[in-house]
Amino acid sequence: MSFLYFNRSLRALTFLKEVMPLLVWQVQDGIRDSGRSAMNRVGDLQRREQKAWGFTGTLSPLAETDTKVLYPRFQEGTGENADYSAAMLRAMIVGMQGGPEVNPKSMMITVKHWPSQGAGGEQTIVYDSTTIKWHMKVWNAAMDANPATVMPGYGSAPYLDPSGEGAGTSKPTLDYLREAVGFDGVVMTDWLASATDTSIKSIGAGADVMSGAMASGTDFNALAAAVGTARIDEAARRVLELKFKLGLFENPYGDPDYPATIWHSVESNNIVNEAARQSLTLLKNDGILPLRPNNGDTIVVAGPRATSDDMANDNIANVIWQSIYHDNPAAKSYYQGIKDRAGAGVNVVLNDAPQARAAVVVIGEKSYTHGTEWPDKQITIPADQVAQIDKFHDRGIPVVCVVVMPRPYVLTDILGKCSAVVVVYRPGNGGGLATAQLLFGDYLPTGRLPFQLPRSVDQVGTDNVADQREKWDLPYDLGATDAERAQIRSYIDSGQPVPTNFGNPLFPYGYGLQNFNPSP
């Protein structure tokens, strides 16, 4: 038995030990482990829906522990708790892959972006010999599920390669993935230009597939001469082995076991709605929730994210990396969800009314990936959105603020103006309905913050390596002292769980009201 096979067998045993109990409702660090089970169900649903239409691969998920507030891809990670992120990612991959090994029912999973950019972003990754232990937890968990491919990012990790070479062309960085982390699948570069020199650098460093690069842009004789035919054969062998495991030679098209009717079925919509329900986080309630309007009462729904006339377009605030080729008939905007749930006898109006029982103001950003709707890396709410809250607060109308918040925002200025604040993150196609149901008290809130929220931009700093007010590679350190940061590092270095109560955030990691009692 080879060491590699033995290592994979141990990982399979780890899967049975750690993933199966996710079906049981438990509490760990104040967060329900059922969330990981929900991640598994959502991943499995994505797999079945994609296979139904003949889509076999996905460039996801992100193996990121987000410890840098200003990381542009923050929203695709799972927060700053590496242990919880690891469990969530493992469950997601197993669902998306249809098991802890690649098989004919799998999607081709591409875990990215190696070597974990949440500690720096698409530039310098700043972890060191201590804090890399925190950021590798999620990658080690991903390996438990034996994903098909890994995509390196553009950023450099000086700890792994002092030369400053980007991950996709850095042999030491890719060697660490193979040798220390134990990945034996296909390495697929991030989107690269088609050029012979780029191919030589990437394939010579250990990449197997040049993602996005047109073959016509590479001189294969020059490539073979530079990297050797053995390296090319090794890469081709990995790709062919993966195709055999996926059953693509036998069944290259749609999977008959997953008919297209699964799309937007009752089962599918229930899974999406339940996932949204589990995530919504109630930060504040002064007694306005749940809404209990009487016949004849008026509720206003306002704010830039209140409606979604563009439900089939690519800037829906509730989702990212979305298809623009279909519309989900079950998806509701926040306005439509509240209007439908309120029922006959209650006047639910859009934008404004002279008098109202309450105003639900939905703020936040449109969909994006690498950038933001408002100025790049701005974490404060724009003045025009704050004005939407002011126009009701100043007239004495209670405001329920719903925040589409894919990354940490500074909510300090709006907190005192709102009777209730609900964070919905990117809640998916079920977000409008789930939010309406929460506001009317159909279920109790259970979501908790997966990251700290800053009191001000002064706690965060800028995107300059020399201006890290928070340390990009450390969790729970917003407003922390140097002594506290030393303690955090000590916990990480010794392999102990890191307490989540460091620093001085506006809201700590794991915060979330679990009932509708007025906020303390």
Q: What's the count of helices (H) and strands (E) in the chain, helices before strands? A: 14, 12
Q: CA 202, CA 496: separation in Å to the nearest integer?
A: 37
- Residue 91 Cα distances to 27, 29, 171, angstroms: 16, 18, 30
What pLDDT was estimated at residue 54?
85
Task: For residue 267, give every residue at least 6 positions away whose Cβ sits within 8 Å of its Cβ, in sequence order, or none.
Answer: none
What pLDDT was estimated at residue 18?
31
Contact status, residue 170 vs residue 207, Cβ threshold 8 Å? no
SS3 of 300-360: the string is EEECCCCCCCCCCCCCCCCCCCCCCCCCCCCCCCHHHHHHHHHCCCCEEEECCCCCCCEEE
Q: Which residues are registered as beta bridge partners of 300?
A: 349, 359
What pLDDT was estimated at residue 384?
96
DSSP letters for 365-401: ----SSS-SSSTT--B--HHHHHHHHHHHTTT--EEE
Low-confidence ranges of the chain (pLDDT < 70): 1-36, 193, 213, 308-316, 321-327, 369, 371
Residue identified by tokens 């990381």 is 71
- Helices 132-144 and 3-18, axial angle in degrees (round to 10): 90
What pLDDT was estimated at residue 9?
32
Q: CA 173, CA 116: separation in Å to the nearest integer?
A: 11
Q: pTM for the complete prediction?
A: 0.90
Q: CA 358, CA 152: separation in Å to the nearest integer?
A: 48
What are the structural domains of the chain? Answer: 3-245 (3.20.20.300), 276-439 (3.40.50.1700)
Q: What's CA 367's distance to the chain center, in Å?
A: 13
Q: CA 79, CA 449: separation in Å to the nearest integer?
A: 8
Q: CA 69, CA 477: separation in Å to the nearest integer?
A: 11
Which tokens belong to 52?
Answer: 């139904």
Which tokens belong to 309?
Answer: 């006339």
